[in-house]
Amino acid sequence: MKPMKIKAKVVPKPKKQVEITTDFIRLDAALKLSDAVQTGGHAKIVISEEEVKVNGEICTQRGKKLRKGDNFEFAHRIYEIV
């Protein structure tokens, strides 16, 4: 039997920009502002269950300050703070 080769394409994750007018925004507020979650309670749950990455690392701090240039990832989508 001849071995089969499988080719896979890696699709880049979609990016969405989140515009802020202040120096920083808290992670839970950024999740709500970007419409990634509907409520603060939902944001608290997904952050505590380690479903959110900030700048490529899992983050469990609800009050993590995000500044322009930072990004966070949730549900296979990347959000960039601008």
Residue 66: DSSP 8-state: E
CB 13 within 8 A of CB 78: yes
pLDDT band at 8; cut points 50, 70, 90 = confident
In a domain, 45, yes or no: yes
H helices of 1-82, in order, are 27-33, 40-48
Predicted pLDDT at 78: 94
Give the tens place of pLDDT for each residue, 9-63: 887 778 899 999 999 999 999 999 999 999 999 999 999 999 999 999 999 999 9
Cβ-contact 82, 17 below 8 angstroms: yes
Token pair recorded at residue 73:
């990832």
Whole-prediction pTM: 0.81
Separation between Cα atoms, residue 41 and residue 60, nearest integer Å: 14
* Residue 21, domain member (yes or no): no
CATH number for position 32: 3.10.290.10
Domain membership of residue 8 (yes or no) is no
| Gyration radius of the chain over CA positions | 16
Position 81 scores a pLDDT of 94
